[in-house]
Amino acid sequence: MPGARLIILGRQGAGKGTQCVRLSRHFVVPHISTGDMLRSAVRERTPLGIVAGEIMDAGGLVDDETMVGIVKERLAKPDAMSRGYILDGFPRTVGQAEALAGITEDLPIHVVIDLDVPREIVVDRISSRRVCQDCGTNYTSSGDDPSPWICDVCGGDVTQRGDDTPEAVNRRLDLYESQTAPLIEFYGGRGQLAVVNGVGHPDHVFKRLTDVVESRR
């Protein structure tokens, strides 16, 4: 049976984005990434994009009210209502999680997964991360690639994200520990949390994720 309502938490660089894309194909549900939504607002220079772009480049967090508004609107669309969704990058604060619990009262989340990768490992991964500007596919740089290079999936430009500098990465990881790690307790206390080891071959991590989802749906 396709369809599921999932939240994937985890440090930046834990491989969340790539695994979420795979999960969304596997369970045939939309992948809702607040980071992707904000980056597209930045590209289109919408009023939200102009404000969010500066915050993102500094490694900060966009305010809860704005984020909750964006997600509430997205979850009300027919695809998410009928099939479910994978939320990637939201919630990021306990305030966002509380608002989400209100929004999903009638159709609750099946499982919240913490994709667990230690901080030392993610710092290395993020510095070699490259992303397609158009379709969001993630790549790993070997260190001497052309910039930009061309995306295998859509032909777009693959570059390093503006917020993947060492300073912004460290700020984001600090924010993760202070703002997002408390969500693990929040969802653990509600019996909704599953911790999945995110270290290892991506195929093995994917299998661990699908096993957890199958067991909770």
Residues of this chain that bind ligand ADP (CB under 6 A) = 12, 34-35, 38, 55-56, 60-62, 67, 89-90, 92, 96, 163, 172
Non-local (6+) Cβ contacts of 203 within 8 A are: none
**What are the residue ranges of helices labelled H in 27-178?**
34-43, 47-57, 64-75, 78-83, 94-103, 119-127, 166-175
Catalytic residue among 5, 11, 39, 129: 129
Q: Please identify, using beta-carbon distances, which residue of 84 and 89 lies nearer to ligand ADP.
A: 89
Catalytic residue among 16, 45, 119, 190: 16
Catalytic residue among 11, 39, 92, 130: 92
Active site residue 16: yes
Active site residue 216: no
Catalytic residue among 161, 207, 208, 216: 161
Q: What token pair was written down for 195?
A: 């911790």
Q: Please identify, using beta-carbon distances, which residue of 66 and 217 lies nearer to ligand ADP.
A: 66
Q: Minimal distance in Å, beta carbon 92 to ligand ADP?
A: 4
Q: Minimal distance in Å, beta carbon 4 to ligand ADP?
A: 20
Q: Which amino acid is at 49?
A: G
Q: Which amino acid is at 75?
A: L
Q: Report the DSSP beta bridge partners of residue 159.
A: 131
Output DSSP code: residue 143.
S
Sign for the CA dihedral angle at 157, 145, 137, 169 comes to negative
Q: Please identify, using beta-carbon distances, which residue of 130 and 172 lies nearer to ligand ADP.
A: 172
Active site residue 172: yes
Active site residue 39: no
b or e along 150-175 (b: 16 or more beta carbons within 10 Å of the residue's beta carbon)?
A: ebeeeebebebbebbeeebbeebbeb
Report which residue's Cβ sits closest to ligand ADP.
Answer: 35
Q: Minimal distance in Å, beta carbon 115 to ligand ADP?
A: 11
Q: Minimal distance in Å, beta carbon 72 to ligand ADP?
A: 12
Task: Cite the active site residues.
Answer: 16, 92, 129, 161, 172
